[in-house]
Amino acid sequence: MENKKRIYADHAATTPVSREVIEAMAPCFSELWGNPSSLHTDGQRAKELVDAARAKVAAAIGCEPAEVYFTSCGSESDNWAIKGAAHLLASKRKKIVTSKIEHHAVLHTCAALEKEGFEVVYVGVDAGGFIDMDELRAAVDENTALVAIMMANNEIGTIEPIREIAEIAHERGALMFTDAVQAVGNIPVDVKALGVDMLALSGHKLHAPKGIGALYIRKGLRIPNLIDGGGQEKGRRGGTENVPYIVGLGVAIEDAVAKLPEMARVRALRERLIDGLLTLPYSRLNGDRECRLPGNVNISFSFVEGESLLLLLDMEGISASTGSACSSNSLEASHVLLSIGVDIEDAHGSLRFSLSHSNTEDEVDSIVKAVRGVVERLRAMSPIYPAK
């Protein structure tokens, strides 16, 4: 019916699996199907693939292979790091310091720990989405087990000063964890330079399949095991390895890091899209303009409903998001936008576009044209739009 190519501008929600990744994974379903724990040749071949992928992930984030643990997703990594740190230090320290703009995989994990009796402090952010450092300094104390602050925000793209935050955590003897799911593959990430004790990443945000992630755990840090079972992941996360997906993650993360210099082009697309969309009346950019992920654009359009915008854009062949994919089914306004001071009406009229290498200038121009059209249509129907 329709031949027009769709425009995908929702890479922060998920990314297509690249051809290179599919090709690297394919043999793991056919000739290389062994169990890495088996001592025979079939098993050892699979083990070599897992080892090679672990080395690639380690090289991408600047750690040793032994510090990389494969998990099933970013959410699992977030859960393991936060609950692990809390339970490791529970007898001495009962507080967790995080932020108001974390992903739900962090916020809901912290909420679960509150039910167990831990105290959680949710530090606020400024209008650009940056952590309030005074509030953070005041919150982190001798009772703090963990500071958990994301490296880059999934909705507004703001990049946090993780190195500085890690220093504050360590000065008071707390551990430092960062959810870097949006950062890895989009900006340089080096766990040693950042000084973090744990870092989460996810495959499907960087052109590997859904259902694979990793957690960096600094050598010597003994958070409790996630899954007791066999000796996989040094006995800390049992369960036979997902060899194909692990291989896919290795190739995807190596590719993503190799392509980081090309992010300058994505950043230029982002600027073009922001400039184009801000020509619409009653529009504003959410998040800091400079210190943001190369592909992230988040704009509020007053007097329109984000859901309506999204559906009309979808009919025009454009995939965007109203915020985080996880909350797009609920009518709750984005907790991130409310935290940076966007009022509730404008929060409901916000769109996120997340660009990647595959997008083009022509696509950006088409997006601007389509958004202008649908915003004007919706505003023409709005009883509260002033410029009628």
Ligand X SMILES: *Cc1c(COP(=O)(O)O)cnc(C)c1O
User: Smallest distance, Å, CB 154 to ligand X?
Assistant: 4
> Of 49 and 150, which CB lies nearer to ligand X in the complex structure?
150
Q: Please name the residues in contact with 381: beta carbons below 8 A apart, sequence gap of 6 or more.
A: none
User: Smallest distance, Å, CB 203 to ligand X?
Assistant: 7
CA–CA gap between residue 100 and residue 106 (Å, rounded): 10
What count of Cα atoms within 13 Å lies in the side-chain half-sphere of residue 124? Answer: 8
CB 103 within 8 A of CB 78: yes
CA–CA gap between residue 220 and residue 228 (Å, rounded): 19
CB 156 within 8 A of CB 340: yes
User: Smallest distance, Å, CB 182 to ligand X?
Assistant: 5
CB 155 within 8 A of CB 181: no
User: Smallest distance, Å, CB 103 to ligand X?
Assistant: 3
> Of 148 and 150, which CB lies nearer to ligand X in the complex structure?
150
Catalytic status, residue 326 = yes
Residues that bind ligand X (CB under 6 A): 73-75, 78, 103, 105, 150, 154, 179, 181-182, 202, 204-205, 213
CB 266 within 8 A of CB 352: no
User: Smallest distance, Å, CB 137 to ligand X?
Assistant: 24
Residue number of the CB closest to ligand X reads 74
CA–CA gap between residue 293 and residue 334 (Å, rounded): 19
Q: Which two tokens stand for residue 221?
A: 């840090």
CB 203 within 8 A of CB 210: yes
Q: What 3 state SS string does 198-255 have?
A: EEEEEHHHCCCCCCCEEEEECCCCCCCCCECCCCHHHHCECCCCCHHHHHHHHHHHHH
Of 208, 157, 209, residue with least CA distance to 354: 157
> Of 25 and 46, which CB lies nearer to ligand X in the complex structure?
25
Q: Please name the residues in contact with 214: beta carbons below 8 A apart, sequence gap of 6 or more.
A: 57, 68, 69, 70, 71, 77, 200, 201, 249
Residue of 28, 63, 291, 326 with catalytic role:
326
> Of 15 and 283, which CB lies nearer to ligand X in the complex structure?
15
User: Smallest distance, Å, CB 254 to ligand X?
Assistant: 19
> Of 71 and 144, which CB lies nearer to ligand X in the complex structure?
71
CA–CA gap between residue 309 and residue 174 (Å, rounded): 44
CB atoms within 10 A of CB 261: 8
Q: Which two tokens stand for residue 169?
A: 């955590």
User: Smallest distance, Å, CB 189 to ligand X?
Assistant: 13
> Of 34 and 295, which CB lies nearer to ligand X in the complex structure?
295
> Of 182 and 298, which CB lies nearer to ligand X in the complex structure?
182
Catalytic residues: 326
